[in-house]
Amino acid sequence: MIFTSFDNIGLLKVLNFLESHESEYLSGQDLSDILKISRVAVWKHIKKIRSLGYTIKSKQKRGYKYVSCTEKLLPWEISKNLTTKFMGKRIYYFDEIDSTQNFALELSNTNKENGTVVLAEKQTGGRGRLNRKWYSPDGGIWFSLIVKPKFEIFDATIIPLASSLALCIAIEKIHKIKVNVKWPNDVTVKGKKVAGMLVDANIQSNNIENFVLGVGINFKINIIKMEKLLENNPNFYGITSLFKLQDKVHRMKLFNQFLVELEQVFDDLVKRKKDNIIKKWSKHTEMFGKHVKVNTNRGTIFGVAKKIDSDGALIIKTKNKNERIFVGDVNLA
Ligand code: BTN
Q: What is the mean pLDDT of residues 214-221?
A: 96
Summarised one tens digit per residue, pLDDT across range 242-262 is 987 767 778 999 999 999 999
User: Measured in angstroms, how far is the CA atom of residue 198 from the centroid of ligand 1?
Assistant: 6
Ligand 1 centroid distance, CA of 214 (Å): 5
Residue 333 has pLDDT above 80, yes or no: yes
Q: Is there a contact between 301 and 316 (Cβ–Cβ < 8 Å)?
A: yes
pLDDT at 214 over 90: yes
Question: In whole numbers, what is the pLDDT of the chain averaged over residues?
Answer: 93
Domains identified in the chain and CATH numbers: 2-68 (1.10.10.10), 75-283 (3.30.930.10), 291-332 (2.30.30.100)
Pocket of ligand 1 (CB under 6 A): 99-101, 123, 126-129, 132, 134, 136, 142-144, 186, 196-198, 214-216
Q: In the chain, what percentage of residues exceed pLDDT 70?
A: 99
Residue 154 has pLDDT above 80, yes or no: no
Scored b (16 or more CB within 10 A) or e, 105-115 reads bebbeeeeebb
DSSP string of 272-311, one letter each residue: T-HHHHHHHHHHTBS-TTSEEEEEETTEEEEEEEEEE-TT
Residue 70, pLDDT score: 94
Give the three-state DSSP class for 119: strand
Ligand 1 atom at minimum distance from 98 CA: 14
pLDDT band at 180 (very low <50, low <70, confident <90, very high): very high
Buried b (16+ CB within 10 A) or exposed e, 165-178: bbbbbbbbebbeee
* Pairwise CA distance, residues 219 & 216, whole Å: 9
pTM greater than 0.85 (yes/no): yes
9-46 pLDDT, tens digit per residue, is 899 999 999 999 998 999 999 999 999 999 999 999 99
pLDDT band at residue 281 using 50, 70 and 90 as cut-offs: very high
Contact 200, 145 (CB under 8 A): no
Question: By the 8 A CB rule, do 73 and 121 touch?
Answer: yes
Task: State in Å: Cα 284 to ligand 1 middle.
Answer: 21
Cα of 168 from ligand 1 centre, angstroms: 16
pLDDT for res 167: 98
Q: Is the pLDDT of residue 204 over 80?
A: no
Measured between alpha carbons, how far is 333 from 116 in angstroms, rounded to an integer?
40
* Whole-number pLDDT of residue 89: 94
Residue 206 has pLDDT above 80, yes or no: no
Query: pLDDT tens digits, residue range 75-91?
Result: 999 999 999 999 999 99
Q: How far is the CA of 67 from the centre of ligand 1 (A)?
A: 35
Q: How far apart are the first and last CA of the chain?
A: 45
Residue 140: band (very low, low, confident or very high) from pLDDT cuts 50, 70, 90: very high
Give the model's pLDDT for residue 3: 86
Average pLDDT over residues 2-8: 81
Atom of ligand 1 nearest to the CA of 100: 12
Burial status of residue 276 (CB atoms within 10 A of its CB: 0-12, 13-18, 19 or more): middle
The residue whose CB lies within 8 Å of the most ligand 1 atoms, and thus the one to mutate among 136, 141, 217, 236, is: 136
Helix (H) or strand (E) holding 3: strand 2-4
